[in-house]
Amino acid sequence: MRVAALYDIHGNLPALEAVLAEVDEAKVDTILIGGDVASGPMPAETMALLEARSEEVRFVRGNADRVLDFSGNPGGDLELWRQSRLWVAEQIGERRLELLAALPLDETIDIDGLGAVRFCHGAPGSDEEVITRVTPEDRLLGLLEGVAEQVVVCGHTHVQFDRKVRDKRVANAGSVGFPYEAAPAAYWLVLGPDLSFRRADYDVARAVELILTTGFPNREKYARDLAEVDPGRPERVSRLIEFGPD
């Protein structure tokens, strides 16, 4: 069994299309969608593309898949965030809203060379807990308490990493649609017989043009952040998410 892990697509259809083209070449058996699928500028189109491949796709739930859950604190312009979530809900409709909200928090898949692998969005059993490349070891061990699998794949922070803590290996698959990496691209992961971190290049400038034509209320900031180039961004983002601003 070989698995392609695609996380944090966030309604970026051109990025997903680029990754799926590479997934087909990678000859995987299963595509694991690791949460935060549709909340972004092209939600219905993104869902439709994955639904067309339903026989090979499995899902875990991300925090943004609870589209109409407004209890969180995303920071920034709260009203714009709320408007954006309502717009996404209108685009994808009630059936898809219910489907996303009902997704499991975890999936375990037996993978060649790795054995049983636990897939989650934030941390095992949570779509909100955060694991980064700089998470203190004691905290990380607490988040992994009771996890039998030796390999855990997460997302949520949009930054790829691969780290070991005692007998566990924790990897972040990165973000397909909205990465916080040094260069704009679509980031994903292949599992079996080891971990292979992937980066799919695509026409980000064209994607930005398309995003700006949508009705997504947060389209301007989304497009601007998507195209950002900053070599220090992954480390800065990891520390900001983990420890907050200085």
**Cβ–Cβ contacts within 10 Å for residue 138, how many?**
8
The pLDDT of residue 192 is 97
- pTM of the model as a whole: 0.96
3 state SS of 42? coil
pLDDT tens, position by position, 6-35: 999 999 999 999 999 999 999 999 999 999
pLDDT tens, position by position, 52-97: 999 999 999 999 999 999 876 666 788 999 999 999 999 999 999 9
Structural domains for the chain: 3-243 (3.60.21.10)
